[in-house]
Structure 1
Amino acid sequence: MIPRFLRHALTIARRDLKATVMTPTFLLFLLSPLLMIGFGVIGGLSGQAAGAAGEARQVIVAIAPARQHEALRTADRELRSVFTRDSARPKLHLEASQGDAVRQARAAFGSDAIEAAAVLYGPLDRPTVLRRAGAEAEGRYLAALAAQTLRAEHAGGIRSTPHFETVTREAPTVSGRGQAAYFSTFAIFLVTLMLSGQAVGAMAEERSNKVIEILAAAVPLESVFFGKLLGAFGSALLFVAFWGTLVANLPKLLPAGMAGIVSDLSVAVGPIFPLLLVGYFVMAYLLQSAVFLGVGSLASTQREIQMLSLPITIFQFAMFGMASYAAGNPDSWVATAAQIVPFSSPMAMAARAANAPELWPHALAFAWQALWVAITLSIAARLFRRGVLKSGSPKRGKKVALQG
């Protein structure tokens, strides 16, 4: 037999879930990260195109006798192989010496045909490098190019031919656990920040329409708040399930190199980690949404919602900062404090699951966080009852007067 309190809460949760999910707006909300990603990609590509347009015209110039040009090109190819991309340094432009090398080198900076970042001239064992302000790296590259060309000439054409082989590490690394800890903390914070604010608008709207007062007259106020919390969580769960499925299949679509980087991430608790991560997201969402429910119940206008939500959002960022530090420093006192403070505990404990193999602290953490969900909901309902419904229990002095 389901208790009456829970039955009332589930009825309200079902009502709120249908009102939220069965609308075209929810589809837009579900796909909103695609819009954010699209705008980010467009902005990134625009910035990259603007930067590449300037970089494409830049060159580094080496003025040397024609007989050394092939050796310089070979050395340039070898040096560029150590960079992750060939365009890390501007292209090499070779010019044959034409009498006055100093004048030729300085003239390269005023040429309309090329945009020289640095120019090398003179003998390769004692070269002179001219460089523009901000092109120190290009100047050092030309100096290294001269040195590499000399080494190849002195070696008599003998070159090493390395054999490359990629290996995978079987044991988890400390850095891999630390990265997984931080990503877990950031994922919980970001998703919670995106989703928990829904409760504010819904509660404020129903308060302005007097619907919340009608529900409070029919069922206990705690059941109303708990039901609305469950309804908001149901829509959030659909959002997480949709995007979680996409993210889980993302490694299959990545190139082999990127997939290898993702596989380097490791967690200390093993295969149970995804369940713990979902559990801590649930607790983080319930805690934050319970706070926002209280804010929405006390705010009657959009202006009041914004004024009350801003301090809560700042507080969320502070909790994320504490949990992020705990992810990178699991043995510090800050990590212990972050695991105890209720509103940072879900993020900090998710980081602990990545860093430490013990499971028993997680059972305590879930119980501790569930207790604070109940406390926060109770406080929110009491504030709403006394501040809005004006039905708080009479003070002690008034009780005595009534009894008299």
Structure 2
Amino acid sequence: MMPRFLRHALTIARRDFTATVMTPTFLLFLLSPLLMIGFGVIGGLSGQAASSASEARQQIVAIAPLGQHDALRAGDRELRSVFTRDSVRPRLRLEQPQADPARQARALFDADASEVAAVLYGPLDRPMVLRRAGAEAEGRYLAALAAQTLRAEQAGGIRSTPRFETIRREAPTVSGRGQAAYFSTFAIFLVTLMLSGQAVGAMAEERSNKVIEILAAAVPLESVFFGKLLGAFGSALLFVAFWGTLVANLPRLLPGDAAGMLSSLSVAVGPIFPLLLVGYFVMAYLLQSAVFLGVGALASTQREIQMLSLPITIFQFAMFGMASYAAGNPGSWVATAAEIVPFSSPMAMAARAANAPELWPHALAFVWQALWVAGTLTIAARLFRRGVLKSGSPKRGKKAVA
């Protein structure tokens, strides 16, 4: 038979889980990341459209005899193959020289039809490059284009024909482990930040409706807090399972190059890493939700909730910053401190699992974090009992009034 404390907590957890999940609002919450992704995509496409429109008007101009135009175009194609996008440098325009090439080049900057970033004129071995302020890279590109074209002419049109082969590294790399450590830290922080705040509103609502006082009269207050924590965790686990399944199948939908970049991520502990990552997410969520439960229990209005939640959120960002530094600098004193501080420990230890192969520190970390979860819940329950229910034990040293 289960202890009475656990039976009471599971009853409260089942009540809260059903009340949260079996509502249309939870479906909207479950799909809320799609809205965030949609707004991000729309904003990105809008910015890209504005940037593309600006890039389309940009040009670089080479004033050269007609006989050099083909060689300049060939050199431009070779140089652009170095960049990942053809639009990294503005489009090249070729013009034939007039009576005064210097005056012709300067007049191009004042034309309304296009926006000229840089102009090259003169012999290719001693070219003159004019560039607009802020277009130093475009000017250097035209100088490199002149040198490339001159080398091709001196070689008599002979060009090398390279062959390319993609090699996949079998052994894990240090950079791959570092990237996996940072992604793990960021994932735990982001999901915890999104989900842990639910406990505040639920507790504050039931306090304003006097439901929490009815529950506290029926079962021990610690069971109420622990049950609400389990109920909130159940809905959070459903959210994580839904989106985790989608993310796990994402590499199948990505192009080969993108999937290859994901495969370069590696972890030091091996196949047990997903279990450790889930365990540290559970601990991070329980720790943060326990704190927010205490805030929701002590705050009587939404204004007080907002005022108390803001410092906690700032504290969460500070813990994430420390854990992120630990992910990039394993073995440093900051990493050790982040692994010990309870509210940054889940994120820092997830990063350690990616960077170091030892498993015994994770067992100690889980015990340490579980103790802090229990302590935080106990403190929150006692503060609620003394500050709200006014049912604390009498202070010592006071004599009873006859």
Secondary structure at the residue paired with 2:227? helix
1:185-204: CA deviations, max 9, x gaps? 00000000000000000000
Partner of 1:283: 283
1:319-353: CA deviations, max 9, x gaps? 00110000000110010010001000000000000
**For residue 211 of structure 1, what is the amino acid of its counterpart?**
V
1:114 to partner: Cα distance:
2.5
1:355-374: CA deviations, max 9, x gaps? 00001110110010000000
Whether 1:337 and 2:337 are equivalent positions in the alignment is yes
1:403 to partner: Cα distance:
10
Measure the CA separation in 1 of the matches of 2:142 and 2:159. 21
Partner of 1:231: 231
Partner of 1:144: 144
Partner of 2:20: 20
**For residue 206 of structure 2, what is the amino acid of its counterpart?**
E
Measure the CA separation in 2 of the matches of 1:22 and 1:241. 17
The equivalences for 1:108-257 within 5 A come to 108-257=108-257
Q: TM-score, normalised by structure 2?
A: 0.99
Secondary structure at the residue paired with 2:397? helix
The equivalences for 1:60-99 within 5 A come to 60-99=60-99
1:54 to partner: Cα distance:
1.1
Partner of 2:380: 380
Which stretches in structure 2 are left out of the alignment for 5+ residues? none
Secondary structure at the residue paired with 2:393? coil
Measure the CA separation in 1 of the matches of 2:202 and 2:266. 39
Whether 1:7 and 2:30 are equivalent positions in the alignment is no
**For residue 92 of structure 2, what is the amino acid of its counterpart?**
L
Partner of 2:43: 43
1:14 to partner: Cα distance:
0.3
1:253 to partner: Cα distance:
0.5
Partner of 2:296: 296
Secondary structure at the residue paired with 1:61? strand
Partner of 1:273: 273
Which stretches in structure 1 are left out of the alignment for 5+ residues? none
Q: Which moved more, 1:107-116 or 1:162-171?
A: 107-116
Secondary structure at the residue paired with 2:120? strand
1:243-277: CA deviations, max 9, x gaps? 00000001111111111111110000001100000
1:157 to partner: Cα distance:
1.1
1:78-130: CA deviations, max 9, x gaps? 00000001111011100011121011111111223332111000000000011
Whether 1:258 and 2:258 are equivalent positions in the alignment is yes
The CA RMSD over aligned residues, in Å, is: 0.9
Measure the CA separation in 2 of the matches of 1:2 and 1:344. 33
Measure the CA separation in 2 of the matches of 1:70 and 1:107. 24
Secondary structure at the residue paired with 1:104? helix
Partner of 1:318: 318
Measure the CA separation in 1 of the matches of 2:125 and 2:345. 62
Partner of 2:359: 359
Measure the CA separation in 1 of the matches of 2:39 and 2:202. 28
Secondary structure at the residue paired with 1:397? coil
1:36-91: CA deviations, max 9, x gaps? 11001101110111111111011100000000000000000000000001111011
Measure the CA separation in 1 of the matches of 2:383 and 2:112. 73
Secondary structure at the residue paired with 1:62? strand
The equivalences for 1:44-59 within 5 A come to 44-59=44-59
**For residue 337 of structure 2, what is the amino acid of its counterpart?**
A
1:279-313: CA deviations, max 9, x gaps? 00000000000000000000110000001111111
**For residue 145 of structure 1, what is the amino acid of its counterpart?**
L
Measure the CA separation in 2 of the matches of 1:128 and 1:202. 71
Measure the CA separation in 1 of the matches of 2:69 and 2:221. 84
Secondary structure at the residue paired with 2:170? coil
Q: TM-score, normalised by structure 1?
A: 0.99
Measure the CA separation in 2 of the matches of 1:160 and 1:106. 37
Deviating 4+ runs (over 3 angstroms): none
